[in-house]
Amino acid sequence: MSTTETPTGGPNISVTAEAAEQALSLLEGEGLDTDVAGLRLYVQQGGCAGLSYGMRFDHEPEEDDTVAEHHSLRVFVDPASMNYIEGSQLEYEGGLQGEGFHVENPNVVSECGCGESFRT
């Protein structure tokens, strides 16, 4: 496999400790090996602003993925998505608006009112 490995805490994206802890807990709950499996972060067409984030667990990275490890969480990003999320941070938020993962993306020009989609 010829994935692009970035150093732990690499420059392409970052993950807060709380987000990594939550994702690792979910990965383990799915019975996936956290030494190989990871969280796939991607961008897709959709939403009222044009683009939206997606996340899912994968058993292993694809050949052309960038793979970064943060707080023991492996994160896989395909090349097309990396163009949109370079420099972003994955966070986990809780509170009155609900709990969940959030991408803090410095490349975003505008977001929709609900914060679910964006434009770069």
For residue 3, what pLDDT is reported? 47
pLDDT (tens place) for every residue of the chain, 120 residues total: 444 444 444 458 899 999 999 999 999 999 999 999 999 999 888 766 678 889 999 999 999 999 999 999 999 999 999 988 889 999 998 776 678 898 888 877 766 665 565 555
SS (H, E, C) the chain: CCCEECCCCCCCEEECHHHHHHHHHHHHHCCCCCCCCEEEEEEEECCCCCEEEEEEEECCCCCCCEEEEECCEEEEECHHHHHHHCCEEEEEECCCCCCEEEEECCCCCEECCCCCEEEC
Q: Which CATH number fits domain 4-119: 3.90.550.10, 1.20.1050.10, 2.40.160.150, 2.60.300.12?
A: 2.60.300.12
